[in-house]
Amino acid sequence: MKFIIWLLKVILVSTVAGYQEIFSRSVDSCHLFRDVTQEYRISVYEFTSQAYKDIGPRSSYHFTFPPLSVWIILAALAEGADPYTQRQMFSFLRLPDDPCERLSYYQLATSRYLASSDVNIVSTRSMFVDNNVALNPHWYNFVANNRLIDLSSVPLRDDPQGTLNAISLSSASLTGLDLSGNSILVDTMDYDGLWSTAFSDAVVQRSPFYNNAGLQIGEVDLMRVTKRARVGFVASINAKLLDLPIGSNGRYRMLFALLSQDNDIEAVLRNVKRTLIIEYLESARESYVPVEIAIPRFTMTSKVNVRKILETLGITGFWTNPNATRYISKPPALPSSFVQRSTITLDNQGILSAPVPYSLVNVTTDIDPIIGREFVANRPFLFGLFDAETYTCLMSSIYSKPTYTY
């Protein structure tokens, strides 16, 4: 019996020591000589496609959601999870076992958000823990040094209203938070950027918006421009794609996928796979001549209960199992809420003035005929914000409810 107790103590000490060694790693101390961008991108695409399919029906197929920032929060929690939960999370997030490779993933992920005068992207990833919860200093330093998540101590149990005020100040107002646990997770993201080329001020028109059955369900303010553009067709979802650069140096891209008429959104989401963007990149071409483009002008705000999504996907240990988070804090952090709020604004403003349109008669676009010479988003479409360097998806969205409804 004494031997068994001694052995358990040795195992516990070895495990804790192993975590401390991993937490002490930094990118500078690692000697990784291969590029992990492709594997990193696939891991984020996989999570994006899974979340996309779950959020769609919950939101009536009209939402915006930032998969990368939620992926980063989950990675931070996984780094402090017990061995069983950690293996589950690494598998779910497609994270490698090698800690140096994971650090490279995190460096790629957290460097996608670059503030500038022409693109405003504000992303906050926060964990609020009760004053009586003591965070593991090794885990705290690891997630803080790698910019994975912001950690704050709040009077969650003693002063719930004070906690809500603190959250409102640091992350934006959120309602319906469950404060029954000893911690909560909050993620917010706001986007408002200038296109590289503006849409014309003179041709923002109130126009009909249709459902995929061809019935008019309302109206939108369509922004129009005629310009050369990068376009493609993705057969797996039967949609044509448009790729518009954002900012002075095209640091970001907005991808639009216009569904074919009579193409059911629910069926489309079932066919969304992690290879979707790779399919697009392989098919995309720059048109030789301008294409007529029309996109709705709008602001969209969505709130998502991430905990419910994760529970649907099989991630349940973080909320109720003290063993799962015992290396994060003492007592173990058990978040009662994980919510996400995001806002995206698409306007007609840009860095360069809209080009003067010219006739397209008898001129080939050098693109697939199925795409045609126009991209008019007057029916439901998928769209997403990507960084141009790695094509990481920062915001994934569906637009199906017009600004003005009948």
Do 121 and 172 fall into the same domain? Answer: yes
- Asked if 234 and 328 sit in the same domain, the reply is no
Same domain assignment for residues 230 and 106: no
Domain range enclosing 218: 195-298+369-399
Task: Please check whether residue 20 lies inside any domain of the structure.
Answer: no
156 shares a domain with 269: no
Residue 368: predicted pLDDT: 57
Average pLDDT over residues 385-396: 93
Q: Per the structure block, which two tokens stand in for 343?
A: 């806002």
Sign of the dihedral through C-alpha 160, 166, 170, 175: positive
pLDDT confidence band for 399 (50 / 70 / 90): very high
Arithmetic mean of pLDDT, 182-205: 89
The reply to whether 223 and 131 lie within a common domain is no
In angstroms, what CA-CA distances link 213 with 217, 264, 380?
A: 10, 9, 10
Angle, CA of 175, 114 and 22, to the nearest 5°: 80
pLDDT score, position 29: 66
Q: Is the pLDDT reported for residue 376 higher than 80? A: yes
- Return the pLDDT at 233: 85
Instruction: Determine the Cα–Cα distance for residues 404 and 289; give it in Å rounded to an integer.
Output: 33
Closest CA to 384 of 19, 49, 84, 21: 49
10: exposed, middle or buried (Cβ count in 10 Å: 0-12, 13-18, 19+): exposed
Are 65 and 132 within one domain? yes
Find out whether 338 and 185 touch, Cβ atoms under 8 Å: yes
Q: What is the per-residue pLDDT for 355?
A: 77
In a shared domain, residues 158 and 293: no
What is the separation of C-alpha 64 from the centre of its chain, rounded to a whole number of angstroms? 9
Measure CA 378 to chain center.
25
38-83 pLDDT, tens digit each: 999 999 999 999 998 899 999 999 999 999 999 999 999 999 999 9
Write the pLDDT tens digit of every residue in 307-360.
999 999 999 989 999 999 999 999 999 999 999 999 999 999 998 887 776 555
Q: Which residues pair with 64 in a beta bridge?
A: 397
- State mean pLDDT over 121-138: 95
Closest CA to 61 of 393, 380, 402, 404: 380
- How far apart are alpha carbons 176 and 167 in whole angstroms? 13
Ramachandran angles phi, psi of 140, nearest 5°: -55, -50
Task: DSSP letter for 175, please.
Answer: -
* pLDDT, position 397: 95
Calculate mean pLDDT across residues 262-287: 79
Residue 18, pLDDT score: 46
Residue 174 has pLDDT above 80, yes or no: no
Q: How many CB atoms lie within 10 A of CB 292?
A: 16
Q: Give dist(CA 258, CA 355) in Å, integer.
A: 23
Question: How far is it, in rounded angstroms, from Cα 127 to Cα 104?
Answer: 23
Q: How many CA atoms lie within 13 A of 68 on its CB side?
A: 26
Q: How far apart are CA 177 and CA 290, in angstroms?
A: 48
Is 364 a domain residue? Answer: no
pLDDT confidence bin for 14, thresholds 50/70/90: very low
pLDDT of 17 over the 50 cut: no
Buried b / exposed e over 163-200, threshold 16 CB at 10 Å, is bbebbeeebbebeebebebbbbbbbbbbbebbbbbbbb
Tell me whether residue 405 is in a domain. Answer: no
Same domain, 124 and 110: yes
Find the distance separating the first CA and the last CA of the chain, reported in whole Å: 75
Decide if 239 is inside a domain.
yes
Directed axis angle between helix 137-145 and helix 2-23, to 10°? 20
* pTM of the predicted structure, to 2 decimals: 0.89
Q: What is the pLDDT, as a whole number, of residue 8?
A: 38
pLDDT value, residue 83: 95
Q: Does residue 196 contact residue 246 with C-beta atoms inside 8 Å?
A: yes
- Do 319 and 384 fall into the same domain? no
321 shares its domain with 332 = yes
Residues 90 and 57 occupy one common structural domain: yes
DSSP secondary structure letter of residue 358: -
At 362, is the pLDDT very low, low, confident or very high (cuts 50, 70, 90)?
Answer: low
Residue 130 lies in a domain: yes
Task: Tell me the torsion sign for CA atoms 250, 254, 260, 266.
Answer: positive
Q: 3-state DSSP helix/strand/coil percent for the chain, to nearest 5?
A: 35, 30, 35
Residue count of the chain, please give it: 406
In a domain, 209, yes or no: yes
Q: What is the pLDDT of residue 10?
A: 36
Residue 22: inside a domain, yes or no?
A: no
> 10 Å Cβ neighbour count for 73?
21
At residue 341, the pLDDT reads 94
Work out how many domains the chain is built from and give that number.
2
- For 195, phi then psi, to 5°, come to -65, 155
Q: Does 58 share its domain with 82?
A: yes
Residue 27 has pLDDT above 70, yes or no: no
- % of the chain exceeding 90 in pLDDT: 58
- The structure tokens listed for 158 are 């003693």
Instruction: Return the percentage of the chain with pLDDT > 70, whole number.
Output: 87
Is 266 part of a structural domain of the chain? yes
CATH classification of the domain holding 279: 2.30.39.10
Residues 226-242 pLDDT 10s: 888 888 888 888 888 99
Name the more confident of 220 and 359: 220
Q: Give 74-121 pLDDT, tens digit per residue.
A: 999 999 999 999 999 999 999 999 999 999 999 999 999 887 889 999
pLDDT at 5: 42
Give the chain's mean pLDDT. 85
Query: What pLDDT, on the 0 to 100 scale, is given for residue 4?
Result: 46
Average pLDDT over residues 147-153: 95
Residue 167's CATH number: 3.30.497.10
- pLDDT, residue 201, reads 72
> Quick check: bond before 57 cis, omega within 30?
no
Q: For the beta carbon of residue 243, count every other beta carbon within 10 angstroms.
A: 19
